[in-house]
């Protein structure tokens, strides 16, 4: 029986400075396996309190327009942040790897978006960082581990 091949790695990031070691691990894994990386950042929707306040003071058609335009702007800004994060990290590496990295910005519940995208792209591995406070992983990490059908590699990080 042969070991499973890793051709597509879904790397999830909050884009914080503490996630840089996770990015480096993703690049290393991709280089070793000649795999591609899908770099995902998830934007969560506004909370219930915010929704109620907005609905109380604005008409529905304006809410939809503001939401759509705002989301478009946020996604463009986040794509730029993902690109900049990638560029900053690649420049710091001693040797630039020939790894294909696609940047994706998703919207919704973090763990749901991660698991859904992993299935959609047929990822062979999900690579995620986890702030380790009091010996516990983040809620998102725990949910991804629980619901993913792919192997999940967790890299401990610190804020």
Q: How far apart are CA 48 and CA 68, in angstroms?
A: 18
Its CATH architecture, for the domain 8-157, is 3-Layer(aba) Sandwich (3.40)
Question: CA-CA-CA-CA torsion for 71, 38, 89, 27, nearest 10 degrees?
Answer: 170
CB 154 within 8 A of CB 130: yes
pLDDT at 128: 93
Given this model, what pLDDT does residue 112 score? Answer: 96
Q: What is the pLDDT of residue 16?
A: 74
**Residue 123 pLDDT:** 97
Tokens 């996630």 correspond to 19
What is the predicted pLDDT for the residue at 78? Answer: 67
Q: What is the pLDDT of residue 105?
A: 83
Closest CA to 12 of 158, 129, 90: 129
Q: What is the pLDDT of residue 48?
A: 67
Q: Where are the domains of the chain?
A: 8-157
pLDDT tens, position by position, 56-69: 767 778 777 877 78
Residues in the chain predicted with pLDDT less than 70, given as ranges, are 1, 46-55, 57, 71, 74, 78, 82, 95-97, 132-136, 158-159
Helices (H), 12-147: 20-33, 48-57, 60-92, 110-120, 139-147
Token representation of residue 145: 């581990």
């Amino acid at each position: 029986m042969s070991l499973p091949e890793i051709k597509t790695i879904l790397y999830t990031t909050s884009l914080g400075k503490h996630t840089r070691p996770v990015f480096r691990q993703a690049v290393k894994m991709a280089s070793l396996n000649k795999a591609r990386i899908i770099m995902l950042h998830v934007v969560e929707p506004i909370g219930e309190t915010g929704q109620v306040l907005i609905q109380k003071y604005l008409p529905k058609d304006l809410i939809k327009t503001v939401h759509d335009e705002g989301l478009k702007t946020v996604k463009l800004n986040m794509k730029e942040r993902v690109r900049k994060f990638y560029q900053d990290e690649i420049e710091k590496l001693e040797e630039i790897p020939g790894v294909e990295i696609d940047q994706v910005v998703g919207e919704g519940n973090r763990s749901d978006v991660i698991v859904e995208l992993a299935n959609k792209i047929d990822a062979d591995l999900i690579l995620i960082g986890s702030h380790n406070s009091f010996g516990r992983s983040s809620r998102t990490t725990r949910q991804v581990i629980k619901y993913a059908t792919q192997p999940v590699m967790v890299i401990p990080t610190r804020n």
